[in-house]
């Protein structure tokens, strides 16, 4: 296999992983940017979305698209319930919200253990086979993840940039008190943002379910990666989450291919430390006094 082929396949693998991290990080940073809550239960919504998709598509044979929509919608509804019962009480309280989210994460993990058991589940590939381009072979299972993530980010951009509720969300993220004075229904924007954030996590889990096995602890690594990415890109910055997700995905892929997975992990944390030291607000974030 030529070096060009290896590089191309490494880039595809990095994009696939980076797209999933990007979806996770966008949802994570949206919740923080609007509600000021560091949601460490974010990965558990990834896990729930993956399990629901595995049950619908893998076990019951529901077609791919309905399974994806139902898994994301059901997880979003669970997020709405938890936001109303728990997270709404900790808006703006970063430490207390973080502690509450850790408790929710443990409850969801152990609930998944009781409901679905500890054994990993495999999900059949959505599309089997490979695509060959200029001698480079790309598995369809990975291309589906990339295509799905690109579509989701495109729709999210349209929602945020070109709809009334998107403009309201941006106004609340900048200053919720001024947004309230301007007549924006802040009490509606908070749950909408939370549901949208956890739905992106559920979508990431559902897309990755056919690529990786599903277990109650599958959300731990994506949560850590999402936190790393939002630190690199800037807390509250959606463009920063996109850039950071792709960067971490490519670092992980190239490091794992040409050196070792352990060294790739070390390099990611070195990047985080460098960003914190040189630009504490993140690559595309704003300083607190400017935000």
Residue 113 has pLDDT above 80, yes or no: yes
pLDDT in tens, 130-175: 887 766 677 888 888 889 999 999 999 999 989 999 999 999 988 8
Asked if the model's pLDDT at residue 223 lies above 80, the reply is: yes
pLDDT confidence bin for 290, thresholds 50/70/90 = very low
Place of tokens 């291919």: 257
Lowest mean pLDDT among 74-78, 136-140, 237-241: 136-140
- Is residue 182, in this structure, part of any structural domain at all? yes
Structural domain contains residue 41: yes
Question: What is the chain's mean pLDDT, rounded?
Answer: 89
Domain span at 75: 16-216
Domain assignment of residue 122, yes or no = yes
End-to-end CA distance of the chain: 49
**Is residue 160 a part of any domain in this protein?**
yes
Q: Is residue 123 part of a domain?
A: yes
**Exposure string over 248-276, b if 16+ CB within 10 A, otherwise e:** bbbbbbbbbbeeeeeebeebbeebbeebe
Report yes or no on 10 lying in a domain.
Answer: no
The total of structural domains in the chain comes to 1
- For the chain, how long is the longest CA-to-CA vector? 63
**87-106: per-residue pLDDT in tens?**
999 887 888 888 999 999 99
């Amino acid at each position: 296999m030529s070096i060009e082929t290896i590089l191309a396949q490494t880039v595809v693998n990095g994009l696939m992983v980076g797209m999933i991290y990007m979806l996770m990080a966008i949802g994570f940073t949206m919740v923080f940017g609007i509600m000021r809550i560091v949601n460490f239960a974010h990965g558990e919504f990834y896990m729930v979305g993956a399990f629901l998709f595995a049950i619908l598509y893998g076990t019951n044979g529901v077609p791919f698209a309905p399974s994806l929509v139902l898994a994301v919608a059901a997880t979003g509804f669970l997020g709405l319930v938890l936001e109303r019962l728990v997270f709404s009480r900790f808006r703006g309280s970063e430490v207390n919200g973080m502690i509450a989210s850790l408790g929710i994460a443990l409850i969801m993990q152990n609930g998944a253990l009781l409901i679905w058991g500890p054994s990993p589940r495999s999900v059949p590939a959505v599309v089997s086979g490979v695509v060959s381009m200029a001698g480079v072979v790309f598995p369809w299972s990975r291309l589906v993840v990339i295509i799905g993530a690109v579509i989701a980010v495109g729709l999210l951009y349209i929602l945020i940039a070109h709809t009334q509720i998107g403009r309201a969300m941006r106004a609340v993220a900048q200053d919720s008190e001024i947004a309230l004075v301007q007549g924006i229904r802040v009490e509606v924007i908070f749950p909408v943002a939370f549901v949208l954030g956890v739905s992106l996590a559920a979508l990431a889990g559902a897309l990755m379910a056919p690529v990786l096995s599903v277990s109650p602890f599958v959300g731990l690594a994506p949560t850590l990666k999402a936190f790393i990415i939002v630190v690199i890109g800037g807390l509250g910055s959606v463009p920063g989450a996109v850039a950071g997700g792709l960067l971490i995905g490519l670092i992980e892929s190239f490091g794992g291919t040409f050196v070792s997975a352990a060294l790739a992990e070390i390099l990611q944390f070195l990047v985080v430390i460098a960003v914190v030291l040189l630009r504490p607000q993140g690559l595309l974030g704003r300083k607190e006094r400017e935000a």
